Structure 1
Amino acid sequence: MTKVTMINPINPKTEKKTIPKLRVCAYCRVSSDLDEQQKSFSTQVAYYTELIEANDAWTFAGIYADEGISGTSKDKRDEFLRLMKDCEAKRVDRVITKSISRFARNTKDCIEAVRKLKELGIAIYFEKENINTLTVDSELVLTILGSTAQEESISISKNNRWAIQKKFETGEWNPSCLPYGYTKDATGEIIIDEAEAVIVRRIYRDYLNGKGSYIIARELTQEGVSTRRGAEAWGENVVTEILTSEKYVGDMLMQKTFTTDTVPFIRKKNKGQKQKYFIQDSHEPIITREEAQRVREIMDQRRKEKEMVAHTEKYNNRYPFTSKIICGECGTTFKRQKLFKGMLYQTEQWCCSKHIRKRTACSMTAIKEDYLKSAFIILYNKLKSNCDPILIPLSEDLKKLHYSQGYESQIKKLNSRISELTEQSHVLSRLRSKGYLDSVLFIEQNSFIVKELAELKAQRSALLDYTDFDEQITRTHELITILKKQEDLMESFDETIFSLMVEKIIVKSKVTLTFHLINGLELTELIGEEMS
């Protein structure tokens, strides 16, 4: 009989290991700017800050809070996107949020975010539903509850649209955003704004006298005529919209656009998919129906003439330099011009759009197209000849770059200050709602906070973007591939290669160009006589 002897295990001496604290953050969101929602927002921020800091096993990793933003699409939520980015950068171990509906009302976005964070080993805890996303059955429950939240959002949207549509049917709808030339009186009725109506009548008069929308817009800009929304200049499309709007003869066509029935909600032009509602003589006209009819006739005639001309130039992306040349002085794009058109000595050049409209507004003068092409050829050949000693080491260096502790410290400081300013804004809102703070004083103080918040968030975004080198590495490889594929140096300008390699060109001066390549590399070349 086989004899079996039991040998008891020896208990090794165990050393107490320090368990690192979990870095825990919270995500909050309210979907409107109403006072009640403002209070809810402030309460959520205060509650989660206290909850996390009270747990000895946790380290407070911040509050990510989107205020006054719908949850139906993640693309509109800056703080949600920042949260996901920080999770990818391993700055967070756990996320706490109030409920699925606060996290997302779009099932697809919700499940995608949960799966992404699960792959990173990061749990999301939904307090109301008592769900930890790292458990086995969490995704099934989330799908069901997330669908419910999505349907709730769709139901609310449908109810709102139904109420608006009923007002359309009875002609009661009073738009909140009125066209240029109109305002509202104390009772909310639409009335003519005489100061703006003068400009509207002038636009119609000028068009009927033979001027085009572009010329009218340019003259209004040059004369400093103010726009409704404080834009720097009048646009050709704005003038065209005024000339084609039915509102200036006193009519109103409603439901020109509509919102889709499914999440994410998208605003679309109504091209017959939905019913429209036309109200004749709904308000006082600025121009006569005869003038409007004559403008439409002229527009139709000009449109037909353009269609009949086979050689009509197409302005959008017709040339390789279109939208890629930027003025280093004023920041506007360059526009192509033809000098001595049809002559043997015809010349093509590119000039700053602002300089074309008004020479005193920008001093940057035109550059010959041949000079631009020659400068790129020189740049390409330099890169082609020095690809191995320049681009390949650059690619390797990018791979070695990691997120530094110094940047992490700066971002934490920025986050702390952003949280302080956000809370200050909430306090001001509460004081105003209770009547303790005058509206003028509130606007003045809150404007400083809003300005500083925008600056801090821009700084934070820049630091976060600096830590992401994946895109830059990929683009550098693309650049190397383009150069390696070509056997010889470039002798004549190649539009395809230029489009693949160059993101934009900054015109620093009449003789200096800075090429911004697709991987972020900036290289300067001289043009004109300086090239020689």
Structure 2
Amino acid sequence: MAKVRVIKPIHRMEAEAPKLRVCAYCRVSSDHTGQLQSFSAQVEYYTRLIENNDAWTFAGIYADEGISGTAKDKRDEFLRLIADCEAKKVDMVITKSISRFARNTADCIETVRKLKTLGIAVFFEKENINTLSAESELLMTVLSSIAQEESISTSKNSRWAIQKRFMKGEWKPSYLPYGYMKGKDGGIVINEEEAAIVRRIYTDYLNGKGTYIIAKELTEEGIPTRKGAEAWGENVVKEILTNEKYYGDMLLQKTFTTDTLPFKRKRNRGQKQSYYIANDHEPIIAIEQAERVREIMEQRKIEKAMVDTDTRKYNQRYPFSSKIQCGECGSTFKRQIIFKGKPYETVQWCCTKHIMNRAECSMTAVKDNHIKAAFINLYNKLKSNHDKILTPLAEDLKKLHCGREHESQVKEINKRITELTEQSHVLSRLRSKGYLDSVLFIEQSNLITKQLHEAKKQRSKLFEYNAFNDEAARTEELIAFLKKQDDLMESFDENIFSLMVEKIIVRSKLEIAFRLINGLELPEIIGEEVV
């Protein structure tokens, strides 16, 4: 038998634990005097708090003034904080609340996770959350969603004030198109040098030239653009030819800001009200010219119109079609089959921009079965914990947006919508299994669709009356739907996925986020297949 010798431990004097390098992040969202006084108080408070703690070393104050928290890339001090954390200059960050740190759920969770991997804690005083604790992520998801909702509410109030000015015809655009400039009294006056180019563009188009040729000739002649670009673009010429301001009218709210974060500007194609003011200012071209240009454009559009029905059908062939978005460039993912015909044939989804040019987007492909496995994990978490995740969120949203006098009506309508949605789900399953003939399926499906439309229309009226946000109602729909499901999910269910998920955002090769129908984004790690 081998002889075992015990080596006793060496007792050394334990070194004194190093002090934590602690910094604070402060932010105010406007530059009004009251807000800046609050900002100054925050800086003074955190400086004193950190310096008075013997276990901490003061690592600085990072402070953004007069900047919204909805987008992290617009906050210089915030970005400097992250850079210093990556450089190992900070051990802990203190901030007043989640809403001061970020009002965009995705940014908040992403940043906290990033700092967590670096071993850096973020402490939110108001919520009493230390992000290095085990339960922090669940709380962060819910609370940052509420902070995001408050930001959306503020944005809606601002837009309401702007729309009131639109209705009175008082709005003067901050940016005027090529050919116009602001006069001494703030009114719109003609810039004669640029107006000559505008008149030439209209004349050339009416004489048969296309927008590409017009732009090419202007560029070759070295005619300067308004924004100092080297070349005239075809779209710039088209914008000039379709802008009502050139014949003296004004269309307000051509674009609008989305109601949910991240806020994006979109072209108004009838989603929002617009306001038309005739004879608002001096025209550059005659209305008859503009009408003739419009007629020519419509004719050319008809001649070029070709509907690719095969492509449209393809976009709906698979459960993830048109639903996967690249977190880096925003492009849609395309389905691919690699190693086709081999025993290890694989279905994957890849960013269309990455496929065309890898230099423009570095996002790599994700496997189809990994996405399905991630959804199964997400569904089972929500099914088991919806009372901890979704129910508190729904309650907070109702407090923010719903009047008590109509709360019971909203609940009844939501219940009806859930029942009809479930009926549609059952009908589809019966049809797929061959238990229902096509005629009866179409008849019943159309009836349910009509009833759903009427119920949602009725609910929308209540929402408008109470300024009730759609996220609250959809959150309740999700809760009701999850309660009706009997079991946890073992294999991917396409119908459940389509009812719950609005979009999938691929953040990296190891992480995706599911944007649910209520706007809540929940991340999942990918890479492990379901066994």
Q: Max radius of gyration: which structure?
A: 1
TM-score normalized by the length of structure 2: 0.50
